[in-house]
Amino acid sequence: MIPVKRTGRSDPVARAGTRQSLPTACRVAVDLLPLMAAGAAAELEVEQVRRHAADCPACRARLGHVVSLIQAIEADAAELRGLPSGAISGAATRLGARLREGLAAQERRRGRRSLVLTLGPVVLVYLTALFTLIARFSRPSPWTLVAAGVYVVGVLVTAPVLLVSRRPAGTEE
């Protein structure tokens, strides 16, 4: 990809700015020509250019060039857009199927995520209670609580990872 950047005066883009040397009427017309050809000029502006171009051969030529350029772009656009209806409906069927698959995969991912978010706190509470009881009724040892903490954190970290990565996204039936 060519990086877009402004270059020096030798660049054709920079050279296009020679309008300063034109008479005022031509300068106005030059400014309006692209808009006019693109159908984005106001009626008054179109009329202004038309009147000026009638008396100015140079601006008539400029107008012709801009119109030709716009016509070339429009022809290219029409060619790209003008797909046979069969091709469009075929693409719609194909893309429609892929979209359904994508939406279903997203739905499944959402379901798994909400399951983890719902069960996670419940599991945490039960495990904490369980290990508190173990620590309370077994021989008191600080290592019991440490082991409990490690176990709880391990479950909470690995369970979501296992649930989410069990089936890679977009490969489901």
Binding residues for other proteins (CB under 8 A): 1-2, 4, 7-8, 10-16, 31, 33-35, 37-38, 40-41, 61-62, 65-66, 68-74, 76-77, 79-83, 88-89, 91-96, 98-100, 102-104, 106
Measuring CA to CA, how many Å separate 138 from each of 45, 141, 143, 150?
93, 8, 12, 18
For 29, how many CA atoms within 13 A lie in the half-sphere containing its CB? 24
Residue among 2 and 122 whose Cβ is closer to other proteins: 2
Residue among 27 and 145 whose Cβ is closer to other proteins: 27
Residue among 82 and 140 whose Cβ is closer to other proteins: 82
- Rounded to a whole number of angstroms, the minimum distance from the CB of residue 110 to other proteins is 10
- The first and second tokens of residue 28, run together, are 């106005």
Residue 61, exposed/middle/buried by CB under 10 A (0-12, 13-18, 19+)?
A: exposed
CA 14 from chain centre, in angstroms, equals 31
- Rounded to a whole number of angstroms, the minimum distance from the CB of residue 63 to other proteins is 12
